[in-house]
Structure 1
Amino acid sequence: MFIARVTGSVVCTQKIETMTGHKLLVVEPYRLEEKKRSTLATTGRTFIAVDTIGAGEDDYVLIVQGSSARLTPETKELPIDAVIIGIVDSVHIEKKNIYDRNK
């Protein structure tokens, strides 16, 4: 699992039938900033994830990839390798609050 920020969406008018009705979001993985360890920093990559919970642009989300992406009831029959399974409310590292959705 890892944290990513939603940066956009993908619209596909033609796709396999099992993917119809599934929202596709562009996500950018984040990591703990190395030196100060007090903020989240982008990894510089982006990829597409299936949204199962109603995330939106600029939300920080929890992602699973690979075979784990097909273990939810909503995705067990889908040909995917990345799925959003949660919207992050806060992140605490070494007793510091480095992200709070409400601020």
Structure 2
Amino acid sequence: MYLGKVIGRVIATVKNDVLEGKKLLLVRRLPSGPAVVAVDAVGAGAGETVYVCRGREASFAFKPEEVPTEATVVAIVDYVDYIERE
């Protein structure tokens, strides 16, 4: 799991039936990293900081439905309270 920034949407007119009605987002890992396509489970939008779940657990957000995904946006982050330690 990691924090990411929504940098765009992915439009796919032909896709697996289970993905019908699901929004696909392009999310870049923070603070820097590659972008991944993630299924949106919370209604996130462009520019928002989000919490991304990866791997097998990514499909759990849609239970009991089985969605074929490797990454899912499971939260929209309001703020991060980060304390740097030496």
- TM surpasses 0.5: yes
Matched, 1:56 2:58: no
Structure 2: segments with no counterpart, 5+ residues:
none
Within 2, Cα distance between the matches of 1:69 and 1:81? 6
Structure 2 CA distance for aligned equivalents of residues 16 and 46 of structure 1: 21
CA–CA separation in structure 2 for the residues paired with 1:11 and 1:84: 16
Compare the two structures and name the one with the higher strand fraction: 1
1:8-35 alpha-carbon deviations (Å, 9 max, x no partner): 00111111111110000000000xxxxx
Q: Residue deviations 1:43-73, cap 9 Å, x none?
A: 2x10100001110000000000001101123
TM-score where L is the length of structure 1: 0.76
User: How many corresponding residue pairs?
Assistant: 84
Partner residue in 2 for 1:13: 13
Task: Give aligned-pair identity as a percent.
Answer: 32
Higher helix share: 2
- The residue type paired with residue 79 of structure 1 is P
Contact in 2 for aligned 1:69/1:75 (Cα 8 Å): no
Letter in 1 for 2:60: L
Deviation, structure 1 residue 76:
4.2
Unaligned runs of 5+ in 1: 31-40, 96-103
- The structure whose Rg is larger is 1
CA contact 2:41–2:61 (8 Å) conserved in 1? no
- Superposed CA RMSD: 1.5
| 2:24 corresponds to | 24
Map Cα deviations across residues 59-92 of structure 1 (whole Å, 9 max, x no partner). Answer: 0000000011011235741111100000001111
Regions of 4+ moved over 2 Å: 73-76
